[in-house]
Structure 1
C-alpha cells in the first residue's frame, strides 16, 4: 500500500493549564451520545451501491457512518490491503475508543479537492471539524481511494485517517483537569460544606505477611467489612504488589479534637482503630481530600450531601460535564445549588507516542471551579437550636422579620452528612431507616397542625374581612361550648376562663372558644378566600421546596364544626413552619408579608411576597396583643418575658388524635416569638415545634427549650 501524504492540524485550543486526572483512550469504552449528524450526509436518502460510488461519495458515506458509530460498516469500505493490516475487531475498538473517548460529535467534513495520481488512485482532500469534550477540533486531511476489481473504489486506511499525525503505536489520551467544587458558607463566612481531610485505609499487597488470609480477616473485623469485599479489591486487575489499594475511608480527627474528647468518644475510638490497623502487615493510612460538613448533624437536613455519580445520573445529565469520577449533590443545598457548585472540568486531548511523550495537543479547555455559595443562615443560631431540641422530634425556622433572610432551618433528630461521604455502612443505613424517631425525615419542609399559633392569622383575616369587632365581648361561657344542640356531643374546650372576652384578651389567654366563634362569624367562604390569599395551597416562594399549607383536606371547609375548629388551628389545617413565619412577618411590616430568602447579600433587599395582606392597623393591633401575651403575667407566653428586649409571642398546642374522644393521641407544642422593636439590633422571628409534648408541659416545654436560644442570640449583640 502506498504511503499517505500527511496534512497539518489547524491550531485549536489554548495551552495545557495543568493535569490533575488522567483518562487513557485505548482499551476502555466510554459512555457516549446517541444522535450525531454529519453536515455532508443526508440520512434520509437511500444509499448508492458500492459500484456506483465515486471517491467523494464514499468519503461522505464514511463520515455518515462515523457519526452513527457504525464502525463495522466503516470497515467494509476499506480496501483489502488495509483490512490485512488491521482486523475488523481491532478497527472497531480503535475507532470506538478514540472517537467516543473524546466524545466526538457533530462531525462535519467539507471536501476541498480531488486529484488522481494514477488511473486507479484518487486522493480526496477535506476539512473536518467536530466537537469534543475539550472543545472544537478541526484539521485538514487526505483520503486515498483505490479502484477495486469490481470497478468501485475502496478506502486506503491507517491510523492517520483519524488524526493526520496518529500512528498505530500512538495513543490518544484525555487528561482531566478536575474543577474544584464550590463551598457553602453561612452569612458570617463560616464553612457549612467544603473541602476536608479524611483518613484512607489502604492495603499494599506486596507488604502483607506470608499468611494474608489472617491479615485480611483481622482487617475486615476492625473495619466491619467482609473478607470477600477486601479480597475483591485486592485482586482487581489493576493491582500490583506495590499498589495502594483503598479499602475504606474513615473520619480524621485533629489533635485538638482528641484532647477535647471524653474517653469513650468517637475521636478516641477512631485513634484506637487506626493503631490496631497499623499493626497488620501491609496496611497504610493516608490523608485524602473529601467533602466535609463542619456542623455535621446540626445542619445535615439543610446542607444535604454529595455522592459519587451513577450511570443513571450520567444518563440524566448528558453534556453537562460529568464523568464517571464526578460527585453530584444528592440532597439539601448540595442538590439545590448543584449547577453553581459543581464547576466545569477542563480537558486536554493529546497524542502520545509509544514512550508516553506528547506529540501534539488536539484540543484544550480550562477548568472552571465551582462557585462558592453564601447563604443567610447563622451557624451559631442553627447549632444552638439543634442542641436544644436534639433529643426531640422537632423543627425550627428562624428569620429576620425585617428583611426575610432565613437564619436557621433545623430538623431533629438528624443524621450526619459526613457519614455519606465516608461511605455509610448497611448497618448504619438500616439503623437510620428503622429508627422510630425518623432522623432522615426533614421536618421543617413538612406541614403540621398549628394549634393556637394559628390564632393571630385568623384574627387578621377576621379584622380584614370586617367580620370581627376587636372590642366586642363574646361573653364568658366557661371552659366548654357548643353553638347549639345540632353539634351533638361535640364541644369546643379551652383552658382559661376570664372576663371581657375581646380579641386582645382572647390572644393573651389563647381562648379556643373565642376563635371558634370568630371563625363562624367570618364564615367558610370568606375564611377560605382569606387563607387562599395568604398562600394556602400554593408553593412557598423559596429556594428549598416546602410542602404547601392547607386549610382542608378538600377544596372547601365542609362543616360548621370543621369551620369552628379551623378558627383555633385544629380541624384539617396544616401549615409549613416557614410559611407560618412569613405570615407573622406581616405583624412587623405594617401588614406586608415578606418573601423568605436564602442567598446572602451584604445589603439585603427586602422583597414582599404578599404586599398589603392586612391593614397597618390590623398588623399593629395583633402585634401589640402578642407583646402583651408575653408581658402580661396571665399571658400563655409569659415564660418568654425578658427585661432587656421586648418580645411578642404566641404559643400553641395542637392535638393529634383520631377522634374527639381519643385519649391516646399526641400533642404538638408550638412557639412563635419575635423581637417587637423595629429598631432591634438583631431582629429575630423564630418558630419552633416539638412533637409528643403531651404530659411534658405542652407549649411550655417549647418555651423552656427556646429561652436559652434567645439568651444566646439576643444577648450577643454587636
Structure 2
C-alpha cells in the first residue's frame, strides 16, 4: 500500500512538474498572473483567482469595490507587487502538500507619500480532476493593508497650508493673511422677524435666502449654535459689518483670511484669490485642490499660484476600537512661499492716488538697477471685495463704468506719441542717419513728402528760428524733424532699430506684459505710416513698462536694462547692449533736461530738484483723415542728478485737462513727495 501511495505521489509530482514547464499550474505561475492583475488594478480578475472558501467569505463588493474605493480615495499610483519565489526544495514540498506560502512586498505612492508593507499569500492547489487542478489564492483584507486584516477603518486627515504672503521691497505687505470676520447666524437670535432678518442678511452678503436656509437646515444645527454662512469680510469693511451686526440673528468670529492692505492702489498688480471654479477643478490635480479651495485669480496671486499655495499635509491612518491609531503614510504640510517683490508700496500708492480717478497707466523703475518700483492701472477696484463676495450692484457698477476699472492697463500697449522720440533719435544716431549737430531747414507748421502722400501732412506745434537740430527738435517736440529723419533712413532701418529696442518680442519680465508693436503688419513700408511712427502716432504701440525700460538706455551708456520684479532676481542686467554710444546717450540725456528747462515740460521746473523727461500727446484718430478729437497725455520723467527713479505715465482723455501737461504735473508732484 505504501508503495502504491508513493507511486501515485511521484506520478502527481511529475504531472505537475511537467505542466509547470508549460506555465500552467505552478504556484509561481498563478501568483505571477495574480500580481499582474493587482499591479494593473484589475481587481475583478483578481477575485476570480480566489479560493471558493475566500469567495464565500468575501463577496465581490467586499473585495473588488473596497479595493477600488480605497485606491481611488488614497490616490494610489505606481503600484508594484513583488514576491520571493520558492526554492526547488520548497516547491517540491508545496506540490506534495498542495499549499504554498509566498512572502510578498507591496509598494505604492499615495496622496500622503509612499506606502510599503510585507505580507504573505497562501495559495492552495484545488480541482476535482488532475487536469483541472489549479492554484487559488487565499485572500483577506490584509492584502490591502495588513493593519485592516482583522477590521479597522482607513481614515484621511488633511492640513491646509498657509498661503504665502506677497511683500514689497521694504517687507511691507501687499497680500497678507490676517484676521477677518466670518459671518454667521445664531437661529435663536433671529427673533419674531426671522424671514425679514434673513432677507436683510442675504441682501448684504449677496446671497439668497434659500442659500441661508440650506446652512440653517443642516442636521447638526441647534437653535443656539453659530451657523457660518461661508462669508468672510475684512475688518476694513466697517460700514458693511456695522449693518450686519445691527440685524438680529447675526454673529461673527475671527478667522484667518486674505487681506490686501493697498486696496485699489495695487489691485491690478497684486490681484486677488477666489474660490476655485468647477472648470478649474477639472483641470487641477485633485490631490492638490478641493472644491472649497481658494486659487489665485489675477495678478501676482495668479502668476505665482504654485509657489504661494503651498502643499497640503496629509495623514493616512487606520483606526480600530480599543487600539492605537496606526499611520500608513504622512506628508507634512508645506506652507506657501513668501514672495518679495521690488515694488515700493509708498511709490505705488502715490502714483495711483495722483490719478485722482482719471484713467491711465504708469510704470516706475530704478533706471540704474532695472527694479520695478510701481505698476499702476487707474481707475481700479478693491480686491478685498472680490475675495469675500462683491455685491451685485457694485459688480454691475464696475462693469458699466466707462473708465473700465477692471481693465489692467499696465499690461496693455498704447500709442506713445512724442515720448518715443528719444528712441527714434537713438536709432538714427546709431545707424548714422542722424547727425546731432546738423540742422534741417523746416518751413511752416506742416510738411508733406510729395504727391505720394496725397493731402496728408505732418504738423508741428511751433515754428523754428532757423535750422532744426536734434536738441531743438527734442525740446520743441518737432514732429516734422523726426518724420523727415525717419523717411530719410527708410522703413527697414527704422524697424530694425525698434526691434533692437525690444519691439516685436516679449519683455523679459516675470509678469506677462503685451509685446510692443511697430505696426499691425510688423513693417513700415508706407512712408506716411513710417513718418507717423517716428513721433509715436500711426500704428506703433508700447506699454508703460517697456517705455520706462527703453529710457534706461540713455542713463546707462547706451545699454537698455532688463526689468526685475522679484527681490531674488539679479539686478542691473542688460537686456539689449550698446544700442547707442555712451556719447550719444549723454546727448539725449542732456536734451531731456532741456525739455524741462526750455521746452514742453516746464511745470517740472517747479520741483525742488532738477528733473529731466519727455512729454507726448497722442491724437486718438481712427483714420489718418479724421479730425482731431480725444487725446492721451504722456510724460516720462526722472531726477536729473540722482537718477534713482524713472516714471513713465499716461493719462487718458487729456484734451480738456491741458494735454500732456497734466501728466507732467502728476509725475513731478509724485517725485516731490517720494524724494
TM-score (norm 2): 0.88
Kept in 1, the 8 Å contact 2:204–2:391? The answer is no
| Cα distance per residue 1:29-57 (max 9 Å; x no partner) | xxxxxxxxxxxxxxxxxxx9xx9465444
User: What is the alpha-carbon distance in structure 2 between the residues aligned to residue 232 and residue 87 of structure 1?
Assistant: 39
Residue number among 372, 375, 378 corresponding to 1:412 in the alignment: 378
How far apart are 1:78 and its partner, in Å? 3.2
CA gap of 1:76–1:212, structure 2 versus 1, over 3 A, is farther
Q: Secondary structure at the match of 2:525?
A: coil
1:398 aligns to 2:346 (yes or no) = no
1:231 aligns to 2:213 (yes or no) = yes
Residue number among 524, 527, 533 corresponding to 1:566 in the alignment: 533
Q: Secondary structure at the match of 1:498?
A: coil
Q: Secondary structure at the match of 1:694?
A: coil
Residue number among 639, 642, 649 corresponding to 1:675 in the alignment: 639
Residue number among 614, 622, 647 corresponding to 1:658 in the alignment: 622
Q: Secondary structure at the match of 1:165?
A: helix
User: What is the alpha-carbon distance in structure 2 between the residues aligned to residue 119 and residue 463 of structure 1?
Assistant: 98
CA gap of 1:505–1:374, structure 2 versus 1, over 3 A, is same
Match of 2:238 in 1: 267
User: What is the alpha-carbon distance in structure 2 between the residues aligned to residue 464 and residue 314 of structure 1?
Assistant: 53
User: What is the alpha-carbon distance in structure 1 between the residues aligned to residue 383 and residue 204 of structure 2?
Assistant: 23
How far apart are 1:388 and its partner, in Å? 1.4
1:533 aligns to 2:506 (yes or no) = no
CA gap of 1:221–1:319, structure 2 versus 1, over 3 A, is closer
Deviates more, 1:316-325 or 1:578-587: 316-325
- The 5 A counterparts of 1:631-646 are 631-632=597-598, 635-642=599-606, 644-646=608-610
| Cα distance per residue 1:575-630 (max 9 Å; x no partner) | 1211111111111111110111111259x641111111111111100110110111
How far apart are 1:301 and its partner, in Å? 0.8
TM-score (norm 1): 0.83
Q: Secondary structure at the match of 1:352?
A: strand
- The 5 A counterparts of 1:574-613 are 574-600=541-567, 605-613=571-579
1:176 aligns to 2:176 (yes or no) = no
CA gap of 1:125–1:241, structure 2 versus 1, over 3 A, is farther
| Cα distance per residue 1:325-350 (max 9 Å; x no partner) | 54332221122222322222232221
1:386 aligns to 2:352 (yes or no) = yes
Residue number among 108, 130, 134 corresponding to 1:130 in the alignment: 108
User: What is the alpha-carbon distance in structure 1 between the residues aligned to residue 580 and residue 287 of structure 2?
Assistant: 46
| Cα distance per residue 1:631-676 (max 9 Å; x no partner) | 12xx101111245322111000111112234237421110000122
CA gap of 1:222–1:464, structure 2 versus 1, over 3 A, is closer
Kept in 2, the 8 Å contact 1:302–1:410? The answer is yes
- Which ranges of structure 1 fall in alignment gaps of 5 or more residues? 1-47, 258-265
1:104 aligns to 2:104 (yes or no) = no
CA gap of 1:703–1:205, structure 2 versus 1, over 3 A, is same
How far apart are 1:172 and its partner, in Å? 1.3
Kept in 1, the 8 Å contact 2:166–2:340? The answer is yes
- The 5 A counterparts of 1:495-574 are 495-500=461-466, 501-574=468-541
Kept in 2, the 8 Å contact 1:169–1:354? The answer is no
1:710 aligns to 2:671 (yes or no) = yes
User: What is the alpha-carbon distance in structure 2 between the residues aligned to residue 121 and residue 272 of structure 1?
Assistant: 77
Match of 2:398 in 1: 432
Deviates more, 1:421-430 or 1:523-532: 421-430
Kept in 1, the 8 Å contact 2:608–2:672? The answer is no
| Cα distance per residue 1:214-242 (max 9 Å; x no partner) | 65444324433212222233345676777
Deviates more, 1:638-647 or 1:103-112: 638-647
1:335 aligns to 2:302 (yes or no) = yes
Match of 2:658 in 1: 697
User: What is the alpha-carbon distance in structure 2 between the residues aligned to residue 65 and residue 553 of structure 1?
Assistant: 59
Q: Secondary structure at the match of 1:462?
A: helix
CA gap of 1:208–1:251, structure 2 versus 1, over 3 A, is closer
Match of 2:47 in 1: 75
- Which ranges of structure 2 fall in alignment gaps of 5 or more residues? 1-19
Kept in 1, the 8 Å contact 2:360–2:409? The answer is yes
User: What is the alpha-carbon distance in structure 1 between the residues aligned to residue 77 and residue 325 of structure 2?
Assistant: 23
CA gap of 1:598–1:140, structure 2 versus 1, over 3 A, is same
User: What is the alpha-carbon distance in structure 2 between the residues aligned to residue 62 and residue 423 of structure 1?
Assistant: 54
Match of 2:10 in 1: none
Deviates more, 1:231-240 or 1:390-399: 231-240
Deviates more, 1:292-301 or 1:656-665: 656-665
CA gap of 1:486–1:321, structure 2 versus 1, over 3 A, is closer
CA gap of 1:408–1:711, structure 2 versus 1, over 3 A, is same
Deviates more, 1:234-243 or 1:147-156: 234-243
CA gap of 1:242–1:80, structure 2 versus 1, over 3 A, is farther
- The 5 A counterparts of 1:195-234 are 195-203=177-185, 216-234=198-216
User: What is the alpha-carbon distance in structure 1 between the residues aligned to residue 412 and residue 647 of structure 2?
Assistant: 17
How far apart are 1:181 and its partner, in Å? 1.9
- Is the radius of gyration larger for structure 1 or structure 2? 2
User: What is the alpha-carbon distance in structure 2 between the residues aligned to residue 285 and residue 672 of structure 1?
Assistant: 49
CA gap of 1:250–1:370, structure 2 versus 1, over 3 A, is closer
User: What is the alpha-carbon distance in structure 2 between the residues aligned to residue 674 and residue 667 of structure 1?
Assistant: 23
Choose between structure 1 and 2: higher helix proportion: 2
Q: Secondary structure at the match of 2:306?
A: helix
Q: Secondary structure at the match of 1:706?
A: helix
User: What is the alpha-carbon distance in structure 1 between the residues aligned to residue 155 and residue 476 of structure 2?
Assistant: 75
User: What is the alpha-carbon distance in structure 2 between the residues aligned to residue 100 and residue 559 of structure 1?
Assistant: 64
Kept in 1, the 8 Å contact 2:205–2:231? The answer is no
- How many residues are aligned here? 643
Q: Secondary structure at the match of 1:350?
A: strand
CA RMSD in angstroms comes to: 2.8
How far apart are 1:286 and its partner, in Å? 1.1
Q: Secondary structure at the match of 2:146?
A: coil
- The 5 A counterparts of 1:271-286 are 271-276=242-247, 279-280=248-249, 283-286=250-253
Kept in 2, the 8 Å contact 1:445–1:576? The answer is yes
- The 5 A counterparts of 1:47-196 are 52=24, 54-113=26-85, 116=94, 119-149=97-127, 151-167=133-149, 169-196=151-178
CA gap of 1:248–1:103, structure 2 versus 1, over 3 A, is closer
User: What is the alpha-carbon distance in structure 2 between the residues aligned to residue 274 and residue 144 of structure 1?
Assistant: 67
